[in-house]
Amino acid sequence: MLLEPQLIVELAVLGLATGYAAGLLGIGGGMLLGPFITLILSARGLPADLAVKMAIATSMATIVFTSISSVRAHHKRGAVQWHIVKGLAPGIVIGSLVGSIGIFAVLKGTTLALLFAAFIGFSATQMFLDKKPKPGRSMPGTAGQIGVGAVIGLVSGLVGAGGGFISVPFMVAHNVVIIQAVATSAALGFPIAVANAAGYALGGQGVEGLPAWSLGYIWLPALAVIASCSVTTAPLGARMAHKLPVAKLKRIFAIVLYVLAAYMLWKGLRG
């Protein structure tokens, strides 16, 4: 598959938009990238099953770069709760490797698309309803955080997202301030992305029909273009996140998720 000028422009615009969204919403950009990369690859002749898998893997790989840029901006404002990152990270790595190396390779791409739609649709509803956490409810202990981290890593690996669609509602439900939850989610995106990207690269070895310049399921040309663009706009989104009212930030998060859930539901059912 040639990386013609039109494709480069499409990927660049996608990178700029998702980088901004990653900083603004703490979602790592993967939930935006997955549907759009699926659309781009499908339009260029890849079967739906392979297009979805490559889109998920490639979008996850870009989060390695986006999360670094985004979390630096949040860290400068003191919003990242590093003790939560340390508590969830071990479980995230375990869950990510189990999902990306094992389950991901077995499931069909259309099934993964349906999982994507279901999980982010549920998360969008939780955020949109703006359910208030119980007073005094705090983060679970070490064992609980490792368990939650494993779930975040596993599900993220199956849908190619940075985990914000689970970690942000989870932290908010445990009385973490929304802007701190968004910032901490951005930091969690790094271990999620590294572990899952390694799993996709290994799990995709020997798969037939992959386009040129693929590392397992990861499409390297798209990764290069999107990552180089997204890191420039992630700090801008992070700065805006500190200026928006909490209610508006939650609704932006929910609306974005609903739209993407609808597309991936359509893709999964159509496949």
- Per residue in 90-108, pLDDT tens? 999 999 888 888 788 787 8
Tell me: pLDDT of 130 over 70: no
Structure tokens belonging to residue 96: 């990510």
Q: Which residues of 183-209 are buried (b: 16+ CB within 10 A; e: fewer)?
A: bbbbbbbbbbbbbbbbbbbebbeeeee
* Parent domain of 221: 5-270
Q: How many domains does the chain have?
A: 1
Nearest Cα residue to 260 out of 95, 117, 60, 52: 117
Q: What would you report as the CA-atom Rg of the chain, rounded to the nearest whole angstrom? A: 17
**Residue 22 · residue 67 · CB < 8 Å:** yes
Which range of 31-35, 66-70, 84-88 scores highest in mean pLDDT? It is 84-88
Q: Which residues of 223-251 are buried (b: 16+ CB within 10 A; e: fewer)?
A: bbbbbebbbebbbbbbeebeeeeeeebbb
User: What is the pairing mode between strands 214-215 and 218-219?
Assistant: antiparallel
Range in 72-81, 139-148, 179-188, 248-257 the model is least confident about: 248-257
**Residue 37 · residue 203 · CB < 8 Å:** no
Q: Is the pTM of this model over 0.85?
A: no
